[in-house]
Chain A
Amino acid sequence: MKHILKIPAINAVGLSLFTAFYALIFIVTSRHVEFVNLLYYYNRTTDIHSFWTGWSSFLASGRHALIAYALIGITILVVLMLLLRRRPYDEYHTANLLQCLAAATILTLAAIAGFYLMILSNPNGIVEKFTLFIVIHWTTVVLADLVYVFVSRWR
């Protein structure tokens, strides 16, 4: 595992696939009628769930594609920095990357538990809730990798 993570291209490929998968979904569903029909809180007038109605309107307007474009941009920056790196990571960098991945895994597991409880308490709007979970998860991973490549530049 550590041997594989020493190669910057492995990190670049992993992050590219991760972003490509979610970006494709976000861009395809943007302003898609069937996706909008799945949104529970869209066009519902309720003061109780104002956050979810706002988030639902944001998704219905297709602006979640902007999130995808922003994260694609950051991913391209990270991938370029990884591919332009002249030397492989050393064992200190690899240990840091493993810690980042472990932290991301723990945060994701905690988020899954949190969202599961949220859905159990109110199963309505599962598309909105799960999309928010994906946005948080995706953004966390991409930004963590960005911080990692900046911190681990060979100086």
Chain B
Amino acid sequence: MQNNVKRLREERGLTQKELGEHVGVSRQAINAIETGKFDPSIWLAYDLAQFFGVTIEVLFLFQEEDRK
């Protein structure tokens, strides 16, 4: 799933590891989310959106073709 996690993280000057520590997941999880290999749970998406101060819709790009 396409998302703005990488852009927002880099805007805040954070590493993947640092962002992971803020939301309680591993660097690998953040990397997988940024590259679209892993769709986070609704709670992790919520935590990420809360951390960046945006809505989930801004953080994750909901496109019909990504629906599973």
Q: How far is the CB of B31 from chain A (nearest CB, A)?
A: 9
Pair B27/A90 contact, Cβ less than 8 Å: no
CB of A139 closer than 8 Å to a CB of B: no
Pair A93/B38 contact, Cβ less than 8 Å: no
Residues of A with C-beta under 8 A to B38? 92, 95
Residues of A with C-beta under 8 A to B25? 90-92
Pair B28/A91 contact, Cβ less than 8 Å: no
Pair A93/B29 contact, Cβ less than 8 Å: yes
Give complex CA distance A95, B40 in Å.
10
Number of A interface residues at 8 Å Cβ cutoff, please give it. Answer: 8
1/0 contact string of B45-66 vs chain A (CB within 8 Å): 0000000000000000000000
Q: How far is the CB of B68 from chain A (nearest CB, A)?
A: 13
1/0 contact string of A144-155 vs chain B (CB within 8 Å): 000000001011
1/0 contact string of A84-117 vs chain B (CB within 8 Å): 0000001111010000000000000000000000
Residues of chain B touching chain A, judged by Cβ–Cβ distance below 8 Å, are 17, 24-29, 32-33, 38, 40-41, 44
20 contacts between A and B (CB under 8 A): A90-B25, A90-B26, A91-B25, A91-B41, A91-B44, A92-B25, A92-B28, A92-B29, A92-B32, A92-B33, A92-B38, A92-B40, A93-B28, A95-B38, A152-B26, A152-B28, A155-B17, A155-B26, A155-B27, A155-B28
Complex A-B, nearest 3 residue pairs according to Cβ-Cβ distance, in ascending order: A92-B29, A90-B25, A154-B26
Using A90-B24, A92-B38 as known contacts, list a sample of 18 further A-B pairs with CB atoms less than 8 Å apart, ordered by residue number in A: A90-B26, A90-B29, A91-B25, A91-B40, A91-B41, A92-B25, A92-B28, A92-B29, A92-B40, A93-B26, A93-B28, A93-B29, A95-B38, A152-B26, A152-B28, A154-B26, A155-B17, A155-B28
